[in-house]
Structure formats: C-alpha cells, structure tokens
Structure 1
Amino acid sequence: MPRRDSALPRDFWARPHIAAALATCDLPAVLEGVRSAQGWSQGELAAAVGYSQSWVSRVINRQQALTVEQVRDLSGRLGIPIHLLRFADAAAPERGAGPTKRREFGKVVTAALTVPVAPARGDIGDHTAPTLRAITGGQRRLDASSPSRDLAAGARAHVELTTRTLARARRTPYAPDIAAAASEAAGFAAWLHADMDDAGSARGHYRTAVRGARLAGEPLLGAYMLGSLAAFETDNGDAAVGLELTREAGRLVGAGAHPTAAAWLACVRAVAHAALGEARAADRAIAAAEAAVARRDNAQPPWPWVFPFDAAKVAGYRALVAVRLRRPADARRAFAEAFAQAAPATKQRGVLMVEMARAHIAAGEVDEAFRLAGDALGIGVRYGSDRLVSRVRRFRRSYRGAPARCLRELDERLADTLAL
C-alpha cells in the first residue's frame, strides 16, 4: 500500500511539464507525473486515490473523461494545488459540468498564437468528442458478433456525422479531439469495408483516418492508422507500399515508442518483408517485436490500442511470416503457440485458419489443410466476411495437387456460397 502522505519533491509542481499540465487542467499528465515521482505502479496510484486500477488506467491513457467533481476529488486526495488548475479560476464551470479538456499544453499555446479561436457553437463542447468516440466503440463491440455488411451503413453514416461535426468545430478548442474521433470512425469503416472485400472503399476510409489523425496532432493515432493501412496494402498484394507506410508510421512514433506500438509496427513490417521474400529483414523485425513485448513497461497499452500487444500476438505474426517464407514447420509451431495462449476474435481466427491451411499444404498434409479451409469458410459465411471467403477461394485455386474427396467437398461448399 503506498503512503498517501509521502512528500513530493519541493519543486515538483513548478516543473515545466507539470506546470503546463496544471495550466490546461490535463489531469492524466498530472496523475502520471505524480505516479512517476512517487515511484508507484498504477495499482498503487489507484490505491492512493481510492479508485479502481482499470479506471485509473483509462484516465492516464486518455480513454476516460473526468468531470469537474472528479478533478476536485483527485486533487484533494493527492494534494494537487487546486488553485493552479485552470478550471478553478473565476471562469470555471459549475460543479457537475462536463468532462475536462485534455489537450496538451503545447497544442493549446500553438493554437492560441496561430489561429483565431471562434466561440464554440451551442451543440459542440467537451462532451462532443467522447460521445462520437462512444458510438465508434459500440460499433466495434458489435463487430465481434455481426456481419460487416450489417454494420457498414451505420459506420459510413457515423463517418459523415463526425466529418460534419469537425467542420462545425473548426477554430474552436474542441477541433483536435473531434478530429481524433473522426479518425477512429473512419478507421473502423475502413476495417469493415476491407472485411467486405471492398478494397477501394477501405483504402479511401483509411486515408480519411490518417488525415483526421494529422488534424488532431496525435502521432500515436496517426501511426496506428498508417500501420493499419500498411497491413491492408500488404494483404492486398502491394507489400512494397505497405513497407513504406510502416516506415512512415515508425517516424511518427519515434525511437521512444511505447512497446505495444513498437511491437505491432514491427510485426506489420515483418509480414511486408516476408511477402517481398526478404527473410533476414522479416526475422529481424519479429525479433524486435519479441523484445518489445518482453519489456517491463508493456503492461498498459497506449490509446488507440485497447489491449497490450503480447507474446501470443507476436506468435501469430511469426506464423504469418513463416507461411510467406515457406517454412511450414516453423509456421505450425508458431500457430500452435498463438492459439494456445489466446483465442483470437472469430473473424481473425478464420483468417489464421486459412494461413494454417497453407502451412499444412506446404507440409503435404492435404486433408488437414482443407479441413481448416472448410472451417474458415464456415466462419466467413456465418459472419458475412467476403474477405475471408475470398481468401478460401484463393487458397483453393492455388492448390495444384492430386484430386481428393476433401477438395470436392470444399468446391461444393464454395459453389453454394455463390447462391447465397
């Protein structure tokens, strides 16, 4: 249990980054600063403030907005000088007002110096971006159990809503947060269209997502969207473009990237290298990902990542690399490791099944390969994933071996999908 009365350094509240966070009421930055200065874990910080660790984690990762009441409560519990917080001055909102602003001090100062700030419209405020993000979050949760085609129309409408809202919010302090929400909405729409095998629409939405992240001034979000676009381009046969996009994403996050971001980008890069036949580069990238996930500070993922990128996820990518480099034994071992440690989402499990089938074909295990392909086809049909059905069809066309009963059965099922 941490000591709540343990003294902070005398100059702590005057340190530039803490003073800047106080000036903009950036409580996530203040909380993280206090935690670091005290040498606490997030669990110990949670104990000190009397909230759950998951809640504290969401606050620090900027996934949980704070009310003024919560700001006052946290300030009292940690001894934060509330008179230095921006909301405590004469212009402060009343108790019970909406979420506090979370813009970084540098962005606020830059905006104030370069852009005349217009008064906020009555329908736009601190609540706007969290509300838009909550809609995207709800759609993402539905994706786990719903066909992409059932969600696509709503996702496109939400992209239009966020775009129109951003246009109305221009030159207001809320524009960066709303731009980030618009980026997330477009990124989800891109994923749905990729799953529908609509490459043109998916690519357009990904580009919109990248632009939104740039408008928001959020390097991590920009890297996430660029990396997602890179994976999409590699998956659609343009690994050279995918590789260049991962490099651009890497430049955005820099050398000090959070291990979750670094590991994920390294894995996406590894698959692109493997697709280009660059075995040594692919192996180096996988090794970099393994080193990143093993770091002690890989416990809490940074927004917009929801879950840490762990060893099981790296094993899945290692298997994909092995398939593309025609290493069937390595691929099967890596797939076994990935599935033993975690259960992928249903559609992603179907994609991995097709890749596993390729590894079994390379090892001469035809029956097992086509059993897996048939299971993947069933998932594709059940969840309306055209992308998954197309992968199974491409897998079948790539087979050049002797006829067998398992082939005829898969051919019949593929023919049936055309009549659905």
Structure 2
Amino acid sequence: MPRRDSALPREFWARPDIAAALATCDLPGVLEGVRAAQGWSQQELAAAVGYSQSWVSRVVNRQQSLTVEQVRDLAGRLGIPIHLLRFADTAAPERGAGPTKRREFGRVITAAALAVPVAPPPGDIGDHTAPTLRAITGGQRRLDASCPARDLAAGARAHVELTARTLARARRTPFAADIAAAAGEAAGFAAWLHADMDDTGTARAHYRSAVRAARLAGHPLLGAYMLGSLAFFETDNGDAAAGLELAGEAGRLVGAGAHPTAAAWLACVRAVAHAALGEPRAADRAIAAAEAAVARRDNADPPWPWVFPFDAAKVAGYRALAAVRLDRPADARRAFTEAFGQAAPAAKQRGVLMVEMARAHLAAGDVDEAFRLAGEALDVGLRHGSDRLVSRVRGLRRSYRGAPARCLGDLDDRLADALAL
C-alpha cells in the first residue's frame, strides 16, 4: 500500500512538463507524473486515490472524462496544489480543423491559461507564485504549435505585464529571484511571438526585457538562453556582428563546463553569425564544436529552460543555414536532407527551413525546386498565421532576377492573395 503522506517536493510542481500539465488542467499528465515520481505502479496509484485500477487506467489513457469535483478530489488525495490547476477545456481541436476552429480553440484555452488576478493581494506572494507564472507561459508555449502568433500575442503581453508587476511587488521577498526567472521566460516567449509576427521592434524590446530579468534572477543558464535567442534574432535580421557579440557573452556566462545542450546550441548560433559575416573557417569550427557537444554521453535530459535535447538533426539544420550564407548550395542541400531525415521540426520551423533550402536550390540553379519549396513554405505560413514566414517567401521571390519560369505564376498569384488578406 503506497503512503499517502509521502508528499512530493515543491520543486516537482515547477518541472516544465508538470507545470504545463497543470496550466491546462491535464490531469492524466499530472497523474502519470505523480505516479512515476512516487515509484508507484498503476495499482498503487489507484489505491492512493481510492478508485479502481480500471477507472484510473481509463483516466490516464484519456478514455475517461473527469468532473470538476473529481479533479478536486484527486488533487486533495495526492497533494496536487489546487491553486496551480487552471480549469480549462483540455480537449484538443479536432484533426483537420481549419484555421478558424484552431483560432477559436486558442482563444478559449489562452483565456483560461491567463485566468489569474492581475493584481493579487500583497500577502499572496509565496513559493507557489513563480511556478504558477511559469505554468502560464508553459501553457502558452504549447499553444504556439497550433495557434497563430497574433491569437496568442495579446495574452502573452498581458502575462508579461503581470509578471513584471508581481516582480516589482516581490523585490524584497525571498521569492524575487524565482519570479524574475518567470518574468524572463514570459518576456522571451512574447519576443518569439512578435518575431513570428514580423514585428522586429517589439520582439527586440521583449528579448532585452527577458535578458534583464534573467540577470536579475541570477540564473546563468536562463541568461545564456535569452542572450543566445537575442543573438540569433539579431543575426537573422541582418546584424551578425551584434549576434556574434551576444553569443559570446552567453558563452562566457555558462562557462566551459556548460551542459552539452547549451554548448551545442550556442556554438550553432555562433556558426550562423560567422557565416553571415563571411567567415567560413570560424563557422566550420563552431559547427564542429556543436557536433562534439551533442555526441557527449551526458547530452540527455536538457537543462531548464531548454525543452528538448540538442541533437545531431538540429545541428544539421544550423549547418545548412550556415552553408546557405556561405554560398555552399551543395553542402546546404545535404545538410537540409540530414536535418529533415532525422527529425520532424515543428511546423513553423519547418517552413523557415524550407525557405532556406529554397535559397540553396536557387543558388544551385534549380529554380523549379526552389519555388516548389517556397510554395510549401507559404502554405505553412498562411496555415499558421506566420507573417515572418510569408515575408521570407516574398523576399525570396524578390531576390530572383532570372528568366521567367512557369513555376512562378502560381506563387505570384498566391502571394498577391496573401497580401490582400
């Protein structure tokens, strides 16, 4: 019989996977996390909550819906912090649903994820505050895969304001550093959304806020993550010298003993900046350093705030980006094939890589394949409401000065339609 008084540590509820499940009231995910953390079998979990094993099995396998009363009962029996649960509709939008249905789902779930008071009473700040704020950001990040950035941006900005106000009130409390880290995450996500909206000025402002909050938190990995994100953003927007300087600062922050995920990612960010500056040897050295880091045995569980390990497929994607900027179309195409063959990037990232792959084909003289890929990237951009992606396809089309080609007519018509939306 499992012990019901063996409470899990507070840090458990702040784990990214658990915080994200709490943010969307994903009880099956929370239950499975608790079971694994306690080392229980499913039968022992059933005994702990006082339900039959068959009922618990249906819940964990998402075959049994729960009432609000049952959620509260399970939370009480397992010590799940009820104040962290956001009672939202956790049903995913049906497969094949159009953009309108996805946007409606996004608005509903985002509103639920933000259902916290904007100005909580002063005595409410405690050790639960930062995990709650981070859980909201985690829920928003999950939605980014299926919702247009414009549908999430207003909620993300409101959350940035909430975390900033909470941090201001918590400055003289023992919880200030953790809340500053939550504020950094919120600002970083808002920056990502505005970058996807092709709003570079607002994105840059949010990235800088994220860096300041990370410094206030005193967390080197978070600081490096935000500096590295800003570095890639600057490089991607034409200031590779600033990007390289920021990437170097991020590397100094984590030091020589950095986790391999952090070391590999920062090396890739440097590689793309070196390539954009026309420095092939430095770019190649940085890619080699990234490949060595991902091959390390301890490159397993990624450190917060990274969500996924940085693996060989991701390095291949950056190697391809560097090759495009170094005018090495054959190398770029091989690297893109490797990146797509080993893993399936998220939709928006896949679209960005398609545009870059199209540039490599165009440089190699393969016009038809280049604009076929550009058309696919445009589909992704329109489907996911990514202004950045649509803008990049437009930029690729404007860069072509060759002879008229049959493949361009349809793309031109679709780009014109996209501008009229």
Give me the TM-score of the superposition, normalised by structure 1: 0.73
**Structure-1 residue corresponding to 2:232:** 231
Give 1:27 shift.
Answer: 7.7
**Structure-1 residue corresponding to 2:272:** 271
Matched residue type, 1:409: D
CA distance in 2, matches of 1:368, 1:280: 29
**Structure-1 residue corresponding to 2:374:** 373
CA distance 1:27–1:351, shift in 2 (3 Å): closer
**Structure-2 residue corresponding to 1:291:** 292
Q: Is 2:337 aligned against 1:353?
A: no
**Structure-2 residue corresponding to 1:401:** 402
CA distance 1:357–1:414, shift in 2 (3 Å): same
**Structure-2 residue corresponding to 1:111:** none
CA distance 1:26–1:374, shift in 2 (3 Å): closer
In structure 1, runs of 5+ residues without a counterpart are 1-24, 29-49, 57-94, 100-119
Matched residue type, 1:267: C
| 1:389-420 deviation digits (Å, cap 9, x = unpaired) | 11101101111111011112111111111110
**Structure-1 residue corresponding to 2:319:** 318
Residue pair 1:357, 1:373 contacting (<8 A) in 2 also: yes
Specify the SS of the correspondent of 2:124: coil
Matched residue type, 1:371: R
**Structure-2 residue corresponding to 1:218:** 219
Q: Is 2:52 aligned against 1:52?
A: no
Give 1:121 shift.
Answer: 3.8
Question: % of aligned pairs identical?
Answer: 84
Matched residue type, 1:411: D
CA distance in 2, matches of 1:220, 1:411: 44
Matched residue type, 2:243: G
Specify the SS of the correspondent of 2:123: coil
Specify the SS of the correspondent of 1:52: helix
CA distance in 1, matches of 2:209, 2:320: 31
**Structure-2 residue corresponding to 1:300:** 301
| 1:236-267 deviation digits (Å, cap 9, x = unpaired) | 00000000000000010001000000000000
Larger Rg belongs to: 1
Give 1:98 shift.
Answer: 6.4
Residue pair 1:213, 1:221 contacting (<8 A) in 2 also: yes
Matched residue type, 1:187: G
CA distance in 2, matches of 1:360, 1:26: 52
Specify the SS of the correspondent of 1:290: helix
In structure 2, runs of 5+ residues without a counterpart are 1-8, 13-33, 40-77, 83-120
**Structure-2 residue corresponding to 1:364:** 365
Matched residue type, 1:273: H
Give 1:384 shift.
Answer: 1.1
| 1:30-52 deviation digits (Å, cap 9, x = unpaired) | xxxxxxxxxxxxxxxxxxxx963
| 1:96-146 deviation digits (Å, cap 9, x = unpaired) | 6969xxxxxxxxxxxxxxxxxxxx942111111000000000000000000
Residue pair 1:98, 1:126 contacting (<8 A) in 2 also: no
Matches within 5 A, 1:121-140: 121-140=122-141
Give me the TM-score of the superposition, normalised by structure 2: 0.73
Matched residue type, 1:395: L
Matches within 5 A, 1:26-37: none
Specify the SS of the correspondent of 1:153: helix
CA distance 1:97–1:341, shift in 2 (3 Å): closer
Matched residue type, 1:52: A
CA distance 1:168–1:400, shift in 2 (3 Å): same
Which ranges of 4 or more aligned residues in structure 1 deviate by more than 4 Å?
Answer: 25-28, 95-99
CA-based RMSD of the aligned residues comes to: 2.0
**Structure-2 residue corresponding to 1:181:** 182
Aligned length: 316
Give 1:360 shift.
Answer: 0.6
Residue pair 1:380, 1:389 contacting (<8 A) in 2 also: yes
Matches within 5 A, 1:88-103: none
**Structure-2 residue corresponding to 1:172:** 173
**Structure-1 residue corresponding to 2:3:** none
**Structure-2 residue corresponding to 1:344:** 345
Matched residue type, 1:154: G
| 1:335-366 deviation digits (Å, cap 9, x = unpaired) | 11111110000000000000000111111111
CA distance 1:26–1:284, shift in 2 (3 Å): farther
Matched residue type, 2:36: S
Matched residue type, 2:338: E
Matched residue type, 1:130: P
